[in-house]
Structure formats: structure tokens, C-alpha cells
Amino acid sequence: MASTSRSLGLVCSRLALKPIDVLEENVFRVKSYIYSDFSLDALPRVTCPNHPDAILVEDYRAGDMICPECGLVVGDRVIDVGSEWRTFSNDKATKDPSRVGDSQNPLLSDGDLSTMIGKGTGAASFDEFGNSKYQNRRTMSSSDRAMMNAFKEITTMADRINLPRNIVDRTNNLFKQVYEQKSLKGRANDAIASACLYIACRQEGVPRTFKEICAVSRISKKEIGRCFKLILKALETSVDLITTGDFMSRFCSNLCLPKQVQMAATHIARKAVELDLVPGRSPISVAAAAIYMASQASAEKRTQKEIGDIAGVADVTIRQSYRLIYPRAPDLFPSDFKFDTPVDKLPQL
């Protein structure tokens, strides 16, 4: 008791407070936490006593929180919720020598705090054929297991077309909402995941075509389109309409076209839409036709097949859109465009 009083007095002397002030402050903080709206200010913050404004460095291996200014260990035995980084020599025969589960996943019902069951040694640990019954099994619900498999498939598809992490996170959230609503019962999870990836790309402003999503999945374009419409209806959400400009930069970059050609193609496509020259045509086919016209007028010419392979459209589709805009070609090019081939010499197809 005496030591507690001395400690309280020492704290008070450092903070220039009386013991009663410390108690009142603690009571106020507790009341603020219980009765007021949640606020980070109501929670105690671990800081260095010598440098309270310094951002502490966390040593995950030792579990310490260290002040970068003076090196003082402010906190110890900090719990790391990530997956284990160590392996063990006696587990070399297993596929995963780690002794814990994966890192926490807030999208799963229990945060994926799973239990790993190691290899047993007794007779009850083996079945009648001598195989281990429980080795490395995890306590996870069937719904969480289905979502985990879908998340892995989403990550794999995103990696194949170099999509950033924020697209993956949005796709995972969309899939979780659809899965929990059970509004697409009977549809394959892979098809739902592919449609969610397509929606996430459009919502994040980096749209991909159905053919691009279809190429990295095992699902047909028609099935992805069906799931896309059902998901929008189930979640009562919407996506922005795609335009020719959404694809122009990527298509021209993949075709190794210079900036001047890209700007000309963008101008041609925009003017064609404004003049209502391509009614009913998809933005992708209009963009492909505009790129073909701009490249044919420049020194960096590209064939219909080269453009079609990048844009994911057939040669005949490019020709059909090109024929619609060709009669107004002189009005479509920007005024400062440097022609390598005059407008009247462009292919008529």
C-alpha cells in the first residue's frame, strides 16, 4: 500500500498534479468513454515520457514498442496478430511448417482466428489405413471456407492482369455482401467473383472489359454478364457508364503508340460520340476504330488485327465502326495534329 502511494505521488509530482486531480481525471476519462460517442481521445495512448510526440517503432520479433528518439522501450510483450514468420526443423515433412493459422481477416465471421492441429503420436491419431486424422486441420465454418476460396481466386485473377490491392479489397467486400445475402443462390462462386472483380474495376475508375475478365477466369463472358446484372440489382448499386477515354490510354500504351497518336485517337473518339456518328456502338469498338484512324494518319501505323488483339474486339467490329466515322474524318482530327498520311489517303475499307 505504501509503495502504491509513493508511486502515485511520484506520478503526481512529475505531472504537477495532486492525487485528487489524477483520480478526477481518470473518472472523467472513464465517463467520456462510457457515455460519450466513441473517440480515440478517450483511450489511453502509449507514449514516451521524454518524447510524447514521437511515433513509436514496433519491434514485432521482440514484441517491444521503442521510442525512436531516445531508444526507451515504452511497451513490451505486444501481441502480433499476423501470421507466424518462423518455421521449425521438426516440421520439415509437412507442407506448411508454420504452427499457427493465417493472419486475421476481418471479412470472415470470426476474423479467421483458426486452430491448427499438429501431428499426433497416439493410436487414436490415425485411421485404419495409418493416415493421420487431424493433422493441420483448421476449425473453420463452411461459409468462411467458401469465402476464403473465393478470395484466393480473386487475388489470382487480379494478379494476372496487374490490378492493385485496392481493387482486390473492394472485390472481396462485394463478394462478401453478395454471399451473405444469398441472392445469387445456384450461381457458381467463381462466376460471382469474376463479376465482382468487373464491378470493382469500374467503381475504382480502372474498368476492364468482359473479355479481359473472362481471359483470367474459367467463366464464360455470358455468365459473367448475367452475374453482373444480378449483383447490381441485389446490392442496389450502380456503376458509372464506361467511355472511350477509359480504355484509350491502356490500349495505346499496349500498342506502343506515341503520345501524339493517343491524344489524336482520344479526340477522334470524343468528337465521334458528340456528333452522334456511332449510335449503338460500344465504347471499346469506337476506341479501337479511333486508334486505327489515328495510327493510319501517323508514322506509327497499326493493323486492325494488332488493335483487335489488344482491345479484345474482332477485325470486322473495328471496320464497322471505322466506316461510320470515316466520312467525317477531316472534322475529327485535332487542329494541331501532324499528318504523315493525308486524310484523303486514309484507308476506306
- The overall pTM is greater than 0.75: no
Each residue's pLDDT tens digit, 167-206 = 999 999 999 999 988 888 888 999 999 999 999 999 988 8
pLDDT of residue 349: 80
pLDDT of residue 44: 64
Provide the β-strand partners of residue 65. 58, 75
Each residue's pLDDT tens digit, 23-33 = 444 444 444 44
Using pLDDT thresholds of 50, 70 and 90, give the confidence band for residue 340.
Answer: very high
Secondary structure percentages of the chain, helix, strand, coil, to 5? 50, 5, 45
Provide the β-strand partners of residue 58. 65
Least confident of 143-147, 154-158, 161-165: 143-147
**pLDDT beyond 90 at 7:** no
pLDDT of residue 147: 87
**Please, what is the Cα angle at 71 between 69 and 72, to 5 degrees?**
110
Residue whose C-alpha cell is 479481359: 212
Average of pLDDT values for 239-263? 90
**What cell numbers appear for 139 in the block?**
476449425
Domain boundaries, the chain: 144-235, 245-345
**Please, what is the Cα angle at 41 between 35 and 43, to 5 degrees?**
75
Using pLDDT thresholds of 50, 70 and 90, give the confidence band for residue 259.
Answer: very high
**pLDDT beyond 50 at 38:** no
Task: Give the DSSP per-residue string, 148-177.
Answer: HHHHHHHHHHHHHTT--HHHHHHHHHHHHH
Note whether 48 and 72 are within 8 A (CB): yes
| Residue range 144-235, CATH number | 1.10.472.10
pLDDT of residue 245: 87
**Please, what is the Cα angle at 289 between 345 and 229, to 5 degrees?**
170
Average of pLDDT values for 71-90? 65
The CATH T-level fold of domain 245-345 is Cyclin A; domain 1 (1.10.472)
pLDDT of residue 128: 61
Tell me if 144-235 shares its fold with 245-345.
yes
Instruction: Quote the mean pLDDT of the chain.
Output: 79
Residue whose C-alpha cell is 493517343: 262
**What cell numbers appear for 132 in the block?**
493421420
pLDDT of residue 87: 54
Using pLDDT thresholds of 50, 70 and 90, give the confidence band for residue 80.
Answer: low
